[in-house]
Amino acid sequence: MRHWKVLVVCFCGLSGLVFAVMQESRLDVVTEKKTGGDVELVRGPYLQLGTSSSIVLRWRTDLETDSRVEFGLSPGNLTSVVHDPNLTEDHIVTLDSLDPETVYYYSIGSSALTLAGDDGDHYFATAPSPGADRAVRVWVLGDSGLGNDSAREVRDSFLEYSPDSDADVWLMLGDNAYVSGTDLDHQRAIFDMYPSILRTTVLWPTLGNHDGFSADSDTETGPYYDIFSLPRNGEMGGVPSGTEAYYSFDFANIHFVCLDSYDTDRSLDGAMMTWLKADLAMADQDWIIAYWHYPPYSDGHNSDTDPIMIQMRENALPILESVGVDLVLSGHSHSYERSFFLNGHYDVSSTLDPTMILDSGDGREDGDGAYRKLSVGLAPNEGTVYAVPASSSQVTPGVRDHPAMFSSLLELGSMVIDVEGNRLDAVFLDNKGEVADSFTIIKGSTLCNADFNGDGTLNFFDISEFLKEFTANEPNADINSDGLWNFFDVSQFLKSYRAGCP
């Protein structure tokens, strides 16, 4: 495994190899220990492993010191202290016994010196209790690791889109640190790029192939595993995975599942897929969002021929869809792709059957109507959206025309997902602050089964849409879910229509 990864780096091209070698040389200089002078903060602070009652604060100094965190409910009133007397440059401090959904302000440093904080810019909010019914905003970056002007534009676009609220959950979909996932790559692409966000928002990454050039998932070694503190022990809900390579966590009424599509055994009887089955069997939140690096459907990299993409599609998707996964997010292909409402497509693109597209519309309430699930909460095989927002620092030209995709865009951007109650709204936000794509998933009876265009009003257009889908044997028109399109469905539609959306 280790030799194979080195060969991959070599085949990236001479210029890339020279760049990587230059970075490693620079890294040696940056991390050389100093023997005197004032202590300086060289990384962070950044937040990890945020639960409803605890959080991990991390930072790096240029000299070894002890670690001290002060925290409280307002700046200037940091009444609680956690102190670790061990000397280190890489500081990891856990705060626990915290209250759910509470904002705390903090400072970090040593027993001799405060390095940062005790102001309005250094704070965190603890997570809500698992299952809490409250609004959640998720920010998703894919392949953001170049640390360039494009990444800055995408970052600033989100900050302007959401000026009054931080993201509750922040995901990175892999290739977080080009070229080869070294510590210096992470410094440039993450810590120098998002310092103000890192100190207020917990980051939940997955491993990409470029990050994996310097990491090993079997031994959990390398910069990726050194830098991040991830929930291997079920610290935030979910079944413990026993590894930081793949994990799950609950946030409010959402169950998040992170898989390692690059460096972990992807076979159906391997440890990761075995864990996935056990984890999903215990999932009891209303929504499931899964994410990993290699997309199951894509034209950016050919998902019909790439062996990793084939394995993830064939092995992971049936497990996820069988418990009702709502949204799957992936990176790797440097563009934006977003599927129709799908179920049951696990083979090459030419085998996509119309029955596997549960809704061929745009998923927009002001268009063809939101994607709808009959069940509130989780139910098997009611439809999934697959999104590839993999253009957060670069776009690779080429034709994007996968038949599973409703939208394919060669634009820089990120994804913003808002979940509240039985409703999920997602947008692809480009680097200029424009919404380039959007869709909505609604569960249960907020829009009754007679509101076929999802606009909240019953009229002739709903009748027309019902008759169209009924004639085509579309799943939405099978109102009693018996697999038949007959008089009973028409009767139920008319009953709901006359009742005015009960």
Render 474-497 in DSSP notation, one character per residue: -GGG-TT-SS--SHHHHHHHHHHH
Cis, bond preceding 179 (omega within 30 deg of 0): yes
Residue 144, amino acid = S
DSSP 204: E
Do 393 and 493 have their domain in common?
Answer: no
**Domains identified in the chain, total number:** 3
In this prediction, residue 398 carries a pLDDT of 84
Tokens 């034209």 sit on residue: 299
Q: Can you say how many angstroms the Cα of residue 267 is from the centroid of all Cα atoms in its chain? A: 23
Q: Kindly state whether residues 333 and 475 are assigned to the same domain.
A: no
On whether residue 103 sits in a domain, the answer given is yes
pLDDT at 501: 57
CB-neighbour burial class of residue 97 (10 A; exposed 0-12, middle 13-18, buried 19+): exposed
Query: Does 19 fall in a domain?
Result: no
For residue 186, tell me if it sits in a domain. yes
Dihedral sign, Cα of residue 304, residue 308, residue 314, residue 316:
negative
487-499 and 460-471 helices, crossing angle to 10°:
160
Alpha-carbon gap, residue 197 to 170, rounded angstroms: 9
368 and 267 in a single domain? The answer is: yes
Do 116 and 140 sit in the same domain of this protein? no
- Say if residue 205 is in the same domain as residue 325: yes
Q: CA-CA distance, 499 to 198, in Å (whole number)?
A: 50
Give the pLDDT score at 176: 98
Measured between alpha carbons, how far is 10 from 347 in angstroms, rounded to an integer?
32
- Cα-based torsion angle of the residue sequence 108, 110, 114, 119 in order, rounded to the nearest 10 degrees: 20
Is 169 a domain residue?
yes
Residues 353 and 293 in one domain: yes
Q: What is the pLDDT of residue 2?
A: 37
In angstroms, rounded to a whole number, what is the distance separating the alpha carbons of residues 364 and 369?
5
| 455 within a domain of the structure (yes/no) | no
The CATH code of the domain that includes 147 is 3.60.21.10
pTM of the full predicted structure?
Answer: 0.85
Report the DSSP pairing between strands 287-291 and 357-359.
Answer: unpaired
pLDDT value of residue 201 = 98
As given in the structure block, the two tokens for residue 149 are 């002007």
Dihedral angle over CA of 459, 464, 470, 474, nearest 10: -90
Placement of tokens 């634009």 in the chain: 411
Domain that holds residue 414: 136-443
pLDDT on residue 500: 61
Residue that finishes a domain, picked among 125, 155, 181: 125
- Strand 254-258 to 287-291 pairing: parallel
The closest alpha carbon to 140, from 163, 162, 107, 110, belongs to 162
35 Cα distance to chain centroid: 41
User: Do 97 and 156 sit in the same domain of this protein?
Assistant: no
- Ranges under pLDDT 70 in the chain: 1-37, 445-449, 454-456, 480-482, 495-496, 498-502
Please check whether residue 426 lies inside any domain of the structure. Answer: yes
Q: Are 223 and 184 in contact (CB under 8 A)?
A: no
The residue ranges of DSSP E strands in 118-202, in sequence order, are 123-125, 136-141, 169-172
In-domain check, residue 33: no
Rounded CA separation 213/6 (Å): 7
Handedness of CA 231, 234, 237, 238 (dihedral sign): positive
CB 342 within 8 A of CB 386: yes
Rounded CA separation 1/19 (Å): 23
- Is residue 117 located within the same domain as residue 150? no
* Same-domain check for residues 408 and 466: no
Side-chain-side CA neighbours of 51 within 13 Å: the count stands at: 19
The sign of the torsion formed by the CA atoms of 61, 65, 67, 70 equals negative
Contact by Cβ (8 Å): 447, 465: no
Between CA 297 and CA 346 the distance in angstroms is: 9
List 388's β-bridge partners, or say none. Answer: 337
Question: Which of 72, 90, 125 delimits the end of a domain?
Answer: 125
In 3D, which of 142, 439, 481 has the Cα closest to residue 295? 142
Shared domain for 117 and 228, answered yes or no, is: no
CB of 206 closer than 8 Å to CB of 172:
yes
Last residue of a domain, one of 98, 125, 152: 125
In a domain, 1, yes or no: no
Do 246 and 116 lie in one domain? The reply is no
Tell me, yes or no, whether 298 and 424 share the same domain. yes
pLDDT at 487: 83
The amino acid at residue 66 is D
- Cβ contacts of 216 within 8 Å, gap of 6 or more: 1, 2, 222, 263
| The dihedral formed by the CA atoms of 308, 309, 311 and 315, expressed in degrees to the nearest 10 | 140
- Cα–Cα distance between 336 and 430 in angstroms, integer? 10
Q: How many CB atoms lie within 10 A of CB 459?
A: 11
